[in-house]
């Protein structure tokens, strides 16, 4: 390859967003190259680890667009603009159909609405990391073959360093490859290198005081390179603090069978979560993604403990595809168990009086709610009840699980317009520069940490970017 290659489109990142965008651009007659910093044949990225479910706000992605738009509005408390919500709601189903046309298979993984469209074979089958030959791995292999057949290429070991700019327009990418700096000039560049969850300095700046105490439940390969390079050209960014993640066993730091599954969200949303002082510190009723963020923001993110009883363990704790009951103890996760709260506090290293006060106050508020009081429960912090049903902590044995925050990807990213063009602070687009997938911000998150969809978000923005570029450039 030459030192100054010319392409119609250069894409930074070979995950699901990058390869969908690359294939769509090639379908539309453009020359494409994907710069992927991973060197292995099956380079690691979050797509390899995905469970493979395409949904929007846990609703069926094929649902009526008005319903999906309202779900996005509700989940993000209006943080995602109406135009972006409509873009995702309207085009999510098209991502599924496009992938089917590319030869990908889907299955229904469970009776849950958000498991209606899951890449086959699914990536969520047992505790621990189980990705080879599944969901995202199959997707990436298939899309790479398709890209090569269309004349495109993936250049492994190509680490993007900076964006090339002329007269305020992005005209390519400078990257290190095989120890040498190489320029890849293009009519348009798509940044699709994911979030910055693997960048400890950025995580410390935006997300948590202690990034080393947050468990990576993805590949951890997103380092925010695209974000940094685009900001150097004057790009604006969206709210960078929230992230998508789940609650894991604290033992996941030393036991690979405890991440990315089983999730402990179902235990948290039915029971309570306390800090090292035995006090509740977050609204468990907002769900596992919200709680994972709350744990990350503790002075010590490794001090949180989930408290629940027998009914919670035997009911919601046993209902997930890879449920904590029985998988947590079966693969070596800590599960403290006692017939009374004093003994449980001792086992979990918590102040007994504070723990008993937290459980008693929670049970009292829940009992009052069953007698007609309104949502949320009158607790500090308050506890919502409409989305996730809280259950009393009353039937022994009682349980305590030391937990950790597991991060999959950061939600914030580069500010974009409806064509996924990266914009400056004044809203004007940077000509020739686009963002797709997790690199594109404003599509979920916000102050309420509203989760919308990972795979659907990636697919919609990737197709949108490629199709807009096709209207703007003359193929080489």
Task: Give the tens place of pLDDT for each residue, 12-24.
Answer: 999 999 999 999 9
Q: How far is residue 309's CA from residue 55's CA, in Å, rounded to a whole number?
A: 32
Q: How would you label 156-182 residue by residue, b for 16+ Cβ within 10 Å and e otherwise?
A: bbbebebbbbeeeebbbbebebeeeeb
Q: Average model confidence (pLDDT) for the chain?
A: 96
Q: How far is residue 224's CA from residue 229's CA, in Å, rounded to a whole number?
A: 9
The rounded percent of the chain whose pLDDT value lies above 70 is 98
- pLDDT greater than 90 at residue 172: yes
Bond into 262 cis (ω within 30): yes
β-partners of residue 401 are 306
pLDDT of the residue at 125: 80
pLDDT of the residue at 385: 93
Task: Give the tens place of pLDDT for each residue, 415-436.
Answer: 999 999 999 999 999 999 999 9
pLDDT of the residue at 5: 80
Is 214:301 a contact under the CB 8 Å cutoff? yes
Q: How far is residue 222's CA from residue 199's CA, in Å, rounded to a whole number?
A: 7
DSSP letter for each residue of 432-467: EEEE-GGGB-SSSBTTTTB---SHHHHHHHHHHHHH
Q: How far is residue 92's CA from residue 322's CA, in Å, rounded to a whole number?
A: 26
pLDDT of the residue at 375: 85
For the chain, state the CA radius of gyration: 23
DSSP character at residue 279 = -
pLDDT of the residue at 362: 97
- pLDDT greater than 80 at residue 372: no
pLDDT of the residue at 282: 97
- pLDDT greater than 60 at residue 359: yes
Q: How far is CA 417 from CA 47, 81, 228, 434, in A?
A: 25, 11, 19, 9
Q: How far is residue 288's CA from residue 298's CA, in Å, rounded to a whole number?
A: 16
pLDDT of the residue at 4: 73
| Fold agreement (4-240+411-472, 243-407) | no
Give the start-to-end residue ranges of the domains of the chain: 4-240+411-472, 243-407
Task: Give the tens place of pLDDT for each residue, 149-170.
Answer: 999 999 999 999 999 999 999 9
Mean pLDDT along residues 220-246: 97
Q: How far is residue 453's CA from residue 455's CA, in Å, rounded to a whole number?
A: 6
Mean pLDDT along residues 182-190: 97
Residue 108 structure tokens: 């229904």
Task: Give the tens place of pLDDT for each residue, 43-78.
Answer: 999 999 999 999 999 999 999 999 999 999 999 999
DSSP letter for each residue of 288-336: HHHHHHHHHTSSSTT--EEEEEHHHHHTGGG-SSS-HHHHHHHTT---E
Residue 91 structure tokens: 């085009």
Q: Which fold has domain 243-407?
A: Flavocytochrome C3; Chain A, domain 1 (3.90.700)
Pick the range with the lowest mean pLDDT from 1-10, 240-249, 292-301, 416-425.
1-10
Residue 188 structure tokens: 């348009």
CATH class of 4-240+411-472: alpha beta
Which residue in the block uniquely carries the two structure tokens 């319903």? 67
Phi, psi of 357 (to 5 degrees): -65, -40
């Amino acid at each position: 390859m030459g030192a100054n290659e010319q392409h119609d489109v250069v894409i930074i990142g070979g995950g699901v967003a990058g390869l969908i965008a690359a294939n769509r651009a090639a379908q539309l007659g453009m020359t494409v190259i994907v710069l992927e910093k991973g060197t292995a044949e099956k380079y690691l990225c979050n797509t390899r680890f995905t469970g493979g479910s395409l949904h929007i706000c846990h609703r069926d992605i094929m649902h009526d667009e008005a319903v999906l738009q309202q779900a996005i509005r509700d989940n993000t408390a209006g943080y995602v603009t109406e135009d972006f919500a409509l873009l995702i709601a309207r085009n999510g189903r098209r991502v599924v159909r496009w992938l089917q046309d590319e030869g990908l298979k889907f299955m229904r993984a469970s009776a849950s609405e958000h498991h209606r469209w899951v890449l086959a074979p699914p990536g969520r089958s047992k505790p621990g990391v189980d990705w080879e030959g599944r969901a995202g791995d199959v997707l990436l292999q298939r899309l790479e073959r398709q890209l090569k057949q269309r004349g495109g290429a993936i250049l492994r070991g190509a680490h993007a360093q900076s964006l090339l700019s002329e007269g305020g327009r992005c005209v390519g990418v400078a990257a290190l490859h095989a120890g040498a700096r190489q320029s890849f000039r293009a009519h348009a560049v798509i940044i699709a290198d994911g979030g910055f969850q693997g960048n400890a300095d950025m995580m410390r700046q935006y997300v948590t005081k202690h990034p080393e105490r947050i468990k990576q439940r993805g590949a951890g390969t997103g380092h925010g390179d695209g974000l940094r390079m685009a900001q150097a050209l004057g790009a604006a960014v969206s709210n960078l603090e929230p992230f998508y993640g789940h609650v894991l066993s604290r033992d996941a730091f030393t036991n690979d069978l405890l991440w990315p599954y089983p999730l402990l969200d179902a235990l948290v949303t039915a029971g309570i979560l306390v800090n090292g002082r035995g006090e509740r510190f977050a609204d468990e009723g907002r769900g596992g993604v919200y709680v994972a963020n709350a744990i990350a923001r503790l002075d010590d993110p490794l001090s949180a403990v989930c408290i629940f009883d027998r009914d919670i363990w035997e009911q919601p704790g046993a209902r997930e595809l890879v449920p904590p009951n029985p998988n947590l103890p079966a693969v070596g996760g800590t599960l403290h168990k006692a017939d009374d709260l004093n003994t449980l506090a001792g086992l979990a290293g918590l102040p007994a009086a504070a723990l008993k006060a937290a459980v008693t106050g929670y049970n009292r508020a829940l009992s009052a709610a069953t007698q007609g009081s309104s949502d949320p429960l009158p607790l500090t912090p308050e506890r919502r009840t409409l989305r996730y049903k809280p259950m009393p902590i009353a039937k022994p044995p009682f349980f305590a699980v030391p937990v950790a925050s597991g991060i999959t990807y950061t939600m914030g990213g580069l500010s974009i317009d409806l064509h996924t063009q990266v914009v400056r602070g004044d809203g004007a687009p940077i000509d020739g520069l686009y963002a797709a997938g997790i690199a594109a911000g404003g599509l979920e998150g916000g102050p309420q940490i509203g989760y919308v969809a990972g795979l659907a978000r990636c697919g919609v923005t990737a197709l949108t970017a490629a199709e807009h570029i096709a209207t703007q450039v003359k193929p080489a």
